[in-house]
Amino acid sequence: MATKVTPISGFQEWLPADRIAELVVLDTIREVFELHGFASINTRAMETVERLAGQGEDADKEIYGVRRLAAGPDDAGDTSMGLHFDLTVPFARYVLENSGKLTFPFRRYQIQPAWRGERPQRGRYREFIQADVDIIDVGSLPDHYEAELLLVVADVFSRLPIGEYHIHVNDRKICEGFYRGLGIEDVTGTLRIVDKLDKIGADGVRKLLLEAGCTEEQAKQCLALAEIRSNDTGFVDQVRALGVEHEMLDEGLAKLAGIIEVANEHAPGVAVADLRIARGLDYYTGTVYETMLVRDPGYGSICSGGRYDALASDGKRTFPGVGISIGVSRLLGKLITEEGLTASRETPVTVLVAVNDEDSRRDSMRVATALRARGIPTLVAPKAAKFGKQIQFADRRGIPFVWFTGADGDQVKDIRSGDQQPADAASWQPPADDLRPSLVLPETP
């Protein structure tokens, strides 16, 4: 009996060439993270719901609960587990469990799937890959790490064909200090409302602020702060011009100015001080980041994060940290699905070894073994068909070279140019650019 296949929205499943493109991106991210001194960890997919919940206004709504289908009425333990919706919360738990075995400051990177129970839509998925870097310490964390993480992301994106982008940076202490200077007591609630500015506009935010108890003047000032944006330290004078004073505001302005100065020295044109950025999760306490593609800012942030001072604590010690997360699936949804980025071939194979006839297949296998031993991805032709068909087999898959064995010596053919040369499996090497698939941008008309 035939079974109808029903697609499930909110999941990415790539065809082979696109999957290779995804792997090239992931390998690039991993390479850069390691170049900057981050060590890899892996955490479990599930956490307790108690730990996952309470990290933001909507965090509990996004949690996928996990329960065995065969669980009985007395088996309540399973219902208290949920799939993690980001990698920061499980990382904080990991640090607490392993603090006696870790060397601080601990620099970690983590590339894993996460799951969110939100409505799938453009750029948003039920299951998605994140690539995180965090630096965490015991007791206190120097501010210079907050600028360093921005530069790590800039290094990653400089190696990928993502186009022009900006990392928008703010410090929650600016907002909190400003609100307190205005006499607003519900700082967290005000942050959450202002964070909706891009979604509901200034009039919508103003209305919500008034409903939350702000005066007309306070709402006006909150919106004025949120409109300040600068690619240099000029934002400091713009905030001062609003006439609000508070010690925490001074601290936040100094920190953000330092980050922008460092960014402009090492990655000019990348960072933007944007005082509307707040981030929805409650655990952020200082610097926050969101990254937008210049050509499509409405697509939303492809990389975000921030500083958290109290997410991890064992009651005696606090482990403050700062982290930033690249939304790999979100980024590739734009580059691959919408803009046609793909890989140069649909297989990692560099060389197809032709088979003259089935009696000589072992000769072809020996060549393949020799090439693989030197790190050259190699495939033996599945059939001893006519050479034209074997070349066609390679061409359809983007395999650049076909190897021919013969009593008078072997030859290798570049099927793109037609060039054919004598070759020895013990020494032949393809051009470096052909050894592995590469990313290919769609042709522009």
Q: What gap in Å lies between CA 176 and CA 144, rounded to an integer? A: 21
**Long-range contact set of residues 51-54: C-beta below 8 Å, sequence gap at least 24:** 51/89, 51/93, 52/82, 52/84, 52/85, 52/89, 54/282
Q: Is 145 annotated as a binding residue?
A: no
Omega before 105 within 30 of 0, i.e. cis: yes
Instruction: Tell me if 299 is assigned to a ligand binding site.
Output: no
DSSP 8-class letter at 270: -
Task: Find the angle CA(114)-CA(195)-CA(224) to the nearest 5 degrees.
Answer: 155
* Joined tokens for residue 104: 């601080």
Is the Cα dihedral 212, 217, 223, 225 positive or negative?
Answer: negative
DSSP secondary structure string for all residues of 380-443 = E-SS---HHHHHHHHHHHT--EEEE--TT-EEEEETTT--EEEE-TTT----HHHHS--EEPPP
* 420 annotated ligand binder: no
Is 279 flagged in the annotation as binding? yes
283 is in an annotated binding site: yes
How far are the Cα atoms of 257, 290, 388 from residue 61, in angstroms, in the given order? 36, 22, 58
Strand order in the sheet with 303-308: 39-40, 106-115, 127-136, 321-327, 303-308, 287-293, 165-171, 271-274, 229-230
309 is in an annotated binding site: no
Main-chain dihedrals φ then ψ at residue 160, nearest 5 degrees: -120, 150
Question: φ and ψ at 248, to 5 degrees?
Answer: -65, -35
Helix H or strand E encompassing 152: helix 144-158
Q: Is 86 annotated as a binding residue?
A: yes
Q: Which residue type does 289 have?
A: Y
| Structure token digits, residue 324 | 């930033």
d(CA 308, CA 316): 17
Residue ranges of the annotated binding site for L-histidine are 86-88, 116, 130, 134, 279, 283-284
Residue ranges of the annotated binding site are 86-88, 116, 130, 134, 279, 283-284
